[in-house]
Amino acid sequence: MKVDLIDLKYRYLDEHEQILKSINKLLKKGNLVLTDEVKSFEDNICSFTGMKYCLGLNSGTDALMMALWSIGIKKGDEVITTPISFIASAGAIAHLGAKPVFVDIGDDLNINPKNIEGAITSKTKAIMPVHWGGRICEMDSILAISKKYKIPVIEDAAQGMGAYYKKQHSGSFGLVSAFSGHPLKNLGAIGDSGFIVTNNRKIFNQIKLYRNHGLVSRDNASIFGINSRIDSINAEILSFRLRKLKSVINRRNKNVKLYRKYINTDKVLIPDNKKYEVNSYVMFLTLCEDRDKLQKYLLNNNIQSLIYYGTPLHLHEASKVYGYRRGNFPKAENICKKVLAFPHHQYLNEIQIKFVCNKINSFYKNY
Ligand SMILES: Cc1ncc(COP(=O)(O)O)c(C=O)c1O
């Protein structure tokens, strides 16, 4: 048996009729940029997340950059964030000329709110929690710090669609939040895409202008912006997939329950969720003893797995300019040596999961 890590092929087989219908509809219409489909996608996201405004964009990275730009982040500012994320989290901050100030993580693999206050300086202009793997950060504590120091929260909710914290959807805690519609996200397009949500009309208007070259009319740009419009085909496909998102996340949570049931070694740690969380499980992250050997063993048994990621953000070459060193964030560094994502998508069945677990168990049997 071969077990794939991800589901893109299966997803297409399942949804191809609807996807081809959407492509056909849009191409026949002869208009593919900022059409009604984009507006209705944005309305659908607002209804789903409970937010007032949404704007469809080119990517989650653009969404993050524009979120930070819209609150005035600029050269010389500092933004507090986590070293455990995809590089885009730090890159978005750096591209605006600001410094990503990392603080270490907690057992939930997210930024540890206890470390935030100590990192605040007069230059701190935002706190940017990342909901890693689809698990929302401890938002009550983060919002309390934000309120105390009057520093806004910008959520990197790239992985957060369908995740809840105390019944509130991810992205609805910050002043403005960024989501990714990358094909591997739970709400993924058939190419790159992203979007922001906010309740702030001024921020909405600024980003709306910026994503379309700053144009207020065909012949007048009030600012110099960029082209970061979501394309209409992807907007339409995301609207269709949004209707299925709850069931996708239920399936993903069921997978994790099965993994918990069948893995019977204490060498694999599956972080526990709190009762008030709904984890959207974009990735199924575990912490494994002797991770690299396990990964090889699984591959030899036709089971894919992936390390998300082997290097914390502060140890990337690009972060050297800020003077970060090994040892700065021991918890994050340690996690990077152990983290492994097992096969996990909504088309996996119990037999496949059991097969993977049996192999994991047999790897550790004589350990
Ligand atoms: C946490 C996080 N932030 C930002 C991004 C960037 O999103 P995109 O790939 O859509 O640009 C990603 C993408 O994987 C992500 O996982």
pTM value is 0.98
Contacts of 125 (CB under 8 A, 6+ apart): 71, 72, 73, 77, 78, 79, 98, 151, 152
pLDDT value of residue 355: 98
Ligand 1 centroid to 46 CA: how many Å?
Answer: 20
Widest CA span in the chain: 72
Q: Does the Cβ of 241 fall within 6 Å of ligand 1?
A: no
Q: Is 286 in the pocket of ligand 1 (CB under 6 A)?
A: no
Mutate to test the pocket of ligand 1, among 182, 192, 339 (most ligand atoms within 8 A of CB): 182
Q: Is there an atom of ligand 1 within 6 Å of 165 CB?
A: no
Distance 180 CA to ligand 1 centre (A): 6
Whether residue 318 contacts residue 94, with contact meaning beta carbons closer than 8 Å, is answered with yes
Atom of ligand 1 nearest to the CA of 85: 1
88 lines ligand 1 (CB under 6 A): yes
**Which has the closest alpha carbon to 356: 272, 264, 293, 281?**
264
The residue to mutate among 62, 66, 155, 159, having the most atoms of ligand 1 within 8 angstroms of its beta carbon, is 159
- Residue with the smallest CA separation from ligand 1 atom 8 is 60
- Ligand 1 pocket, 172 CB below 6 A? no
pLDDT score for 134: 98
Q: Ligand 1 atom closest to Cα of 131?
A: 1
pLDDT in tens, the chain (367 residues): 999 999 899 999 999 999 999 999 999 999 999 999 999 999 999 999 999 999 999 999 999 999 999 999 999 999 999 999 999 999 999 999 999 999 999 999 999 999 999 999 999 999 999 999 999 999 999 999 999 999 999 999 999 999 999 999 999 999 999 999 999 999 999 999 999 999 999 999 999 999 999 999 999 999 999 999 999 999 999 999 999 999 999 999 999 999 999 999 999 999 999 999 999 999 999 999 999 999 999 999 999 999 999 999 999 999 999 999 999 999 999 999 999 999 999 999 999 999 999 999 999 997 7
Separation between Cα atoms, residue 316 and residue 339, nearest integer Å: 17
For the Cβ of 85 lying below 6 angstroms from any atom of ligand 1, the answer is yes
Encoded tokens for 250: 């239920």
Q: What is the DSSP string of 70-82?
A: HTT--TT-EEEE-
Cα→Cα distances 90→64, 97, 167, 232, 318, Å: 10, 11, 28, 29, 10
Report the C-alpha gap between 205 and 193 in whole angstroms: 19
DSSP state of 3: B
Residue 130 beta carbon below 6 angstroms from any ligand 1 atom = yes
Through-space distance between the first and last CA atoms of the chain, rounded to whole angstroms: 24
Cα-to-centroid distance, 274 and ligand 1 (Å): 24
Contact 159 CB / ligand 1 (< 6 Å): yes
From the CA of 218, how far away is ligand 1's center (Å)?
Answer: 32
Asked if residue 186 has its Cβ within 6 Å of ligand 1, the reply is no
